[in-house]
Chain A
């Protein structure tokens, strides 16, 4: 009883249940593909389906990962130089057990940038005024306000984040001078 199963595992690479799950998945997807093939725009749909995965994995991800790497590099160098000079005047404060580290500006740039980028992607049609006619037919309005609103939201995100950083930094200095 055990041998056929283990031989199946060795040859297939997983359990029979795995194969059943795969067959069920591809049967349904195959049925849909056959049904969609009747549509005149089937090729476009396939293009968008595969394109969505490609656009995320090979375009969006590399872009945001590289941007983050550049940002880390730039802020890392800046804060390294900064911390070398600042440690001379303000030695890193020490409390029992744990040393509060100097706040890094990295996440205070990263988070609002990520949020603004996400808002741009999600609400892109309004911001870039895509589909003007269908928009007008459906709502009786234009798409004029969205770009300015997105810019205002982006500015707010960066301002709040920057303000928070300044506050953290000031608190850190105060704690440092108290302990030092």
Chain B
């Protein structure tokens, strides 16, 4: 099935003419490919890893979109039609939910890069085969492979640039990464549909862990993971054209190639996972922005946007600062001293960002539901929080009912026993369990509680 058939489809004459007229490029006959490791079995091993890993990356990505509250039109990109999960209220429990979904999305995405590159290495001779297609089916499949390969590399490139804050591409990251993911997913599902039977048969073609005894033959077939370099031989010629026609001597065993890809994946994982850990382990993310603590002491943990970048002026956050609380037709204005005089609640909550980093800190302040009660709203359906920040994508956020009512949802005034620093949102910031970091609005100026009847 697919790109492997030698027979030409309709119109036969055209496909045969294409076959007879290769462009004057050397190596199209396949004799330049020398690695004796290439073959269906090795490709299927890398494919199987991606078949398990990539769906996890896709699903956690979709969950992260849902966490942004698309029902309030505040998930980016906004206009996605039916290309999203069915609407549901993002839960506040467990409080580490977003920390895990986002951390998994970014970390696993990075860990799989060597596997993607290994898989592409294993099939690359097929890119340079002539004719590229012998039928409409093969032509369509080749086009879908462009979506598959372009899609995964596009997602990797935009994702890596985003978590390192280098927007070299000059387009909106959210729009590109989200829709790119859908194009990739479509091609991925089609590819798996067509290739799954072949992957399984290729995996079964050679034993992996235990030597296989064949009836009537004295020598068992050696398990691939127990085959050293000296016993490494090319796979038998295959209908997929993956095995080299003129293989050279092996310089690495097949288990060596798998260990190499696995080792590189582990290396990337080890240098990435630190951005989701607290304490000394954070420093292990040696090459990522969030492996470094920006400061020392109780407010030394990473920030997402500095006050200077947000254009927050010192006089706005000083004595002059007031919090305006609206709801049910009432308006209450509070200064920081009055907020501190209200019932204070302390919660140990993570703050997690789309870039995959997270940190857990001890926040204290006024419960959001107590602020709602202050204006007489006992059952808020939602709350809109506005920042002092004038411009900026995340200068306001809408919280769901469950996010307002959670006992640990706070307008935080202090963190780790001291006042918030201005970069962490002084005089007051929102912190809600399992809410994406950018929706935990900093430098809060105004909160409006809405009841169900407000619409």
**Distance, CA A162 to CA B35, complexed state (A):** 25
Q: Mark B175-201, 1 if CB is under 8 A from A, else 0.
A: 110011011001101100110000000
**Structural contact, B138 and A131, CB atoms closer than 8 A:** no
- Residues of the B chain whose Cβ atoms lie less than 8 Å from the Cβ of A149: 286-287
* CB of A24 within 8 Å of the partner chain: yes
**Structural contact, B147 and A29, CB atoms closer than 8 A:** yes
| Chain A residue at smallest Cβ distance from B295 | A140
Most buried by B among A13, A104, A131, A150: A13
**Structural contact, A135 and B166, CB atoms closer than 8 A:** yes
- Residues of the A chain whose Cβ atoms lie less than 8 Å from the Cβ of B289: 126, 135, 138-139, 141
- Residues of the A chain whose Cβ atoms lie less than 8 Å from the Cβ of B182: 28, 32
**Structural contact, A21 and B193, CB atoms closer than 8 A:** yes
- Residues of the B chain whose Cβ atoms lie less than 8 Å from the Cβ of A107: 251-252, 256
**Distance, CA A18 to CA B117, complexed state (A):** 26
**Structural contact, B165 and A122, CB atoms closer than 8 A:** no
**Distance, CA A153 to CA B271, complexed state (A):** 11
- The B202-233 residues at the A interface (CB cut-off 8 A) are 229-230
**Distance, CA A126 to CA B164, complexed state (A):** 7
* CB of A89 within 8 Å of the partner chain: no
Q: Smallest distance from the beta carbon of B79 to chain A beta carbons, Å? A: 7
**Distance, CA A128 to CA B65, complexed state (A):** 30
- Residues of the A chain whose Cβ atoms lie less than 8 Å from the Cβ of B290: 139
Instruction: Given A29-B186, A122-B160, A134-B166, decide whether A106 and B1 contact each other with a Cβ distance below 8 A.
Output: no
Q: Which of B303-311, B323-331, B395-403 forms contacts with chain A? A: B303-311
Q: Smallest distance from the beta carbon of B155 to chain A beta carbons, Å? A: 9
* CB of B59 within 8 Å of the partner chain: no
**Structural contact, A18 and B176, CB atoms closer than 8 A:** no
* CB of B167 within 8 Å of the partner chain: yes
- Partner of A118 from the list B264, B304, B309 (CB cut-off 8 Å) is B264
- Residues of the B chain whose Cβ atoms lie less than 8 Å from the Cβ of A135: 164-166, 289
**Structural contact, B186 and A36, CB atoms closer than 8 A:** no
**Structural contact, A13 and B172, CB atoms closer than 8 A:** no
- Residues of the A chain whose Cβ atoms lie less than 8 Å from the Cβ of B164: 123, 125-126, 130-131, 135
* CB of B302 within 8 Å of the partner chain: yes
Q: Which of B2-10, B41-49, B86-94, B405-413 forms contacts with chain A? A: B2-10
Q: Mark B281-294, 1 if CB is under 8 A from A, else 0.
A: 00000111110101
- Residues of the A chain whose Cβ atoms lie less than 8 Å from the Cβ of B146: 50, 53
- Residues of the A chain whose Cβ atoms lie less than 8 Å from the Cβ of B114: 118
Q: Which of B129-137, B370-378, B440-448 forms contacts with chain A? A: B129-137
Q: Mark B246-290, 1 if CB is under 8 A from A, else 0.
A: 000001100010001001100110010000000000000011111
Q: Smallest distance from the beta carbon of B256 to chain A beta carbons, Å? A: 7
Q: Which of A39-47, A80-88, A163-171, A172-180 forms contacts with chain B? A: A39-47
**Distance, CA A114 to CA B268, complexed state (A):** 12
* CB of B153 within 8 Å of the partner chain: yes
- Residues of the A chain whose Cβ atoms lie less than 8 Å from the Cβ of B186: 24-25, 28-29
**Structural contact, B251 and A22, CB atoms closer than 8 A:** no
**Structural contact, B168 and A130, CB atoms closer than 8 A:** yes
- Partner of B304 from the list A72, A114, A130, A138 (CB cut-off 8 Å) is A138
Q: Mark B110-130, 1 if CB is under 8 A from A, else 0.
A: 100110010011001001000
* CB of B365 within 8 Å of the partner chain: no
**Structural contact, B158 and A127, CB atoms closer than 8 A:** no
**Distance, CA A111 to CA B251, complexed state (A):** 12
**Structural contact, B264 and A12, CB atoms closer than 8 A:** no
* CB of B63 within 8 Å of the partner chain: no
**Structural contact, A56 and B170, CB atoms closer than 8 A:** no
- Residues of the B chain whose Cβ atoms lie less than 8 Å from the Cβ of A53: 146, 149-150, 153
Q: Smallest distance from the beta carbon of A142 to chain B beta carbons, Å? A: 10
- Residues of the A chain whose Cβ atoms lie less than 8 Å from the Cβ of B423: 140
**Distance, CA A159 to CA B180, complexed state (A):** 40
- The A2-49 residues at the B interface (CB cut-off 8 A) are 10-15, 17-19, 21-22, 24-26, 28-29, 31-32, 35-36, 39, 41, 44-45, 48-49
Q: List 26 A-B contacts (CB under 8 A).
A: A10-B9, A12-B10, A18-B2, A21-B189, A21-B194, A24-B190, A25-B186, A28-B182, A28-B186, A32-B182, A35-B80, A48-B157, A61-B124, A106-B251, A118-B264, A118-B267, A118-B268, A125-B160, A130-B166, A134-B165, A135-B289, A136-B309, A138-B304, A139-B302, A141-B289, A145-B292
3 closest A-B pairs by beta carbon, nearest first, are: A13-B135, A131-B166, A137-B309
Using a CB–CB cutoff of 8 Å, the interface residues on chain B facing chain A are: 1-2, 5, 7-10, 79-81, 83, 110, 113-114, 117, 120-121, 124, 127, 134-138, 140-141, 143-144, 146-147, 149-151, 153-154, 156-158, 160-161, 164-172, 175-176, 179-180, 182-183, 186-187, 189-190, 193-194, 229-230, 251-252, 256, 260, 263-264, 267-268, 271, 286-290, 292, 294, 302-306, 308-309, 423
